Structure formats: structure tokens, C-alpha cells
Amino acid sequence: MNRFDGRNVLLTGAASGIGRAAAVRLLNEGATVFAVDRDEDGLAETGKLAGGTDRFVPWQADLADESAVVSAAAEAVARLGRVDVLANVAGVLRVTPMESLRLDDYRQIFAINVFAPVAFCREVLPHIPDRTGVIVNVTSTAATKAHPWMTGYAASKGALLSFSISLAAELAPRRIRVVPISPGGVATPLTANRETFAGIDTSWYARTYPLWGRPGRPEDIAGTIAYAASADGAYLNGVEVRVDGGSHS
Ligand SMILES: NC(=O)c1ccc[n+]([C@@H]2O[C@H](COP(=O)([O-])OP(=O)(O)OC[C@H]3O[C@@H](n4cnc5c(N)ncnc54)[C@H](O)[C@@H]3O)[C@@H](O)[C@H]2O)c1
């Protein structure tokens, strides 16, 4: 018996990095995963990595567009019927020094990192079962720790964290859990180009991984997502779970 046998998951950001690792992990543990991302090829690759199972249902959508979120949620409900786990993993990072920052940068970041998860929660909530349903929102240590040159990203993750904590209290009468998970630095395409952006010396970040002298791996975070979303995490609710290897940045 696998932890996720018979459980339906709607997971965003499944074409790369942490979302891909989480999708593979949940599929391997028996879940059916409705996987949303704008990157169709990346989604197909995730399906292959999970062994080509027909429990993987890819759905291409640009989450910057609210109507695409609404359609994706409707399609997930049509295909799955019930959504036991909603995992909002998709996100974007922009490294922008304050001097050259435009409010449109903030709007774009907030659209994907905050408004899409919020809209998914609203759309899917009627189809999440009382007592066993779980919402996992991937935030970031940037929500509560200084991340210079990333103020928009940090503010968006702070917003998602606050949203999650309050939503957990709102949904408590239905016994639906909401768990914000905050990774520290994880080696994925999201962070790969950071060192070179705008000539900024970001070696500050490289000095902050004291546990194994390395940043996190997507699988490190996927394991925590699976724990939080499973019955093993039944008493975990409305509190930030930091998964940063003890990083001090
Ligand atoms: N990598 C890190 O160091 C780190 C640290 C803390 C938090 N996070 C968070 O973890 C989550 C996953 O990040 P990752 O490192 O795996 O990044 P990634 O770039 O590898 O994956 C992000 C995924 O989101 C998808 N995506 C982005 N914008 C989209 C849009 N408009 N519509 C649909 N899909 C879209 C991308 O196509 C990609 O598949 C993000 O929310 C990120 O903020 C990452």
C-alpha cells in the first residue's frame, strides 16, 4: 500500500525543478497527478521520468493569466472529480536591483507567484474533501529572510506565506490543512542564471549552505511536499515549513 494510492493531486510547475521532482515522487507513491505548467515539453519529460504512467495527466497553461488558471482547475476537476491535494509549486524569480526596478516586474511576479495560487485555491476548494484535503503552497525563505536584489520575489513569497497561514485558519472548520513550504537555495533552472544577472556579485549566497556545503536538491523539497500532503503530516497545519539545510541566508 502506497501513501498516495487513490489520491488525486493537482500540481503546478511540474515541468521542471522542484515541481517535477514532486510530481515524480507522488506518482511513484501511487497518486494520480494533474500536472500544470506552461512548458509542454518539460511536462512530457516529467511523464517519462515517472515511467510513462497514465496516472500522469499533463495540462499546458500560462498561469500569469487568471482565465487559464480557471480553465486548468475546471479541467482537473472534470478529469479527477475530487482534488485531494493542491500543490502550488510554479514560480518565477527576477533579480532586479532597486534602481532599475519597474512596477510591471512586480505585477508579473505577483501574477504567477501569488495570484495564480490564490485563484487555484478559490477554484479547487469546493472539490477538496473535508478532513483529508491538503493545500501545499511553495513559498521561499525569501519570504522572511533578506534576499537582496530580489525584493519583488521576496515580497511575493511573503504574500503567499501570509495568505497560507490565514487560509489554514479559515479552512480549519473543514479540517482541510494548508501548509506553506519554504525552500532555501535549491539547484534548479530557476537559480541557474542568478550569478550572472546584471553583473551583480551574488557570492553572498554561495557562502550560506552549512549543512553539506551544497544547495538543496529538488528531491530534498519533494520529500517534504510528499510528507506534508500525506496522512503522515496530519498534524502539520498553517505553519511555515523551512527546508533550507540550516542555511543562514
Ligand atoms: N530553486 C530555489 O532555490 C527555490 C528556493 C525557494 C523557493 N523556490 C520556489 O520553488 C518553486 C519551484 O521553483 P524551481 O526552483 O523548481 O524552478 P524551475 O524554474 O525549475 O521550475 C518552475 C516551473 O514553473 C513553471 N512556470 C513558471 N512560470 C509559469 C507560468 N506563467 N505558467 C505556468 N508555469 C510556469 C516553469 O515552466 C517551471 O516548470 C517556485 O515557486 C520557486 O519560487 C525555489
Q: Is the pLDDT of residue 244 over 60?
A: yes
| Number of domains comprising the chain | 1
* Residue 249 confidence (pLDDT) above 90: no
C-alpha cell at 76: 482537473
Q: Whose CA is nearest to atom 1 of ligand 1?
A: 186
User: Is the residue at 136 inside a domain?
Assistant: yes
Residues serving a catalytic function are: 153
Q: With 80 as the cut, is the pLDDT of residue 211 above it?
A: no
| Residue 249, domain member (yes or no) | no
Residue 248 located in a structural domain: no
Residue 196, domain extent = 8-243
Q: What pLDDT is recorded for position 196?
A: 44
Using the mean position of ligand 1's atoms as its centre, give its distance from the Cα of residue 184 in Å: 13
pLDDT at 163: 99
What is the distance in A from the centroid of ligand 1 to the CA of 37? 10
The CATH number linked to 209 is 3.40.50.720
pLDDT, position 40: 98
pLDDT reported for residue 115: 98
CB neighbour list of residue 208: distance below 8 Å, 6 or more residues apart: 184, 185, 247, 248, 249
Beta carbons within 8 Å of 192's beta carbon, 6+ residues apart: none
Q: Which residue has the higher pLDDT, 151 or 216?
A: 151
Question: Cβ distance 107 to 37 under 8 Å?
Answer: no
In a domain, 1, yes or no: no
Q: Is the CB of 190 under 6 A from ligand 1?
A: yes
What's the CA gap between 211 and 213, in Å, rounded? 6
**Of 185 and 230, the one with more pLDDT:** 230
85-140 pLDDT, tens digit each: 999 999 999 888 899 889 999 999 999 999 999 999 999 999 999 999 999 999 99
Residue 3 lies in a domain: no
pLDDT in tens, 41-89: 999 999 999 999 999 999 999 999 999 999 999 999 999 999 999 999 9
pLDDT exceeds cutoff 90 at 216: no
Cα distance between residue 11 and residue 76, in whole Å: 10
Residue 157: inside a domain? yes
User: 36 with 59: CB under 8 angstroms?
Assistant: yes
pLDDT, tens digit, for every residue of 145-188?
998 889 999 999 999 999 999 999 999 999 999 999 999 988 88
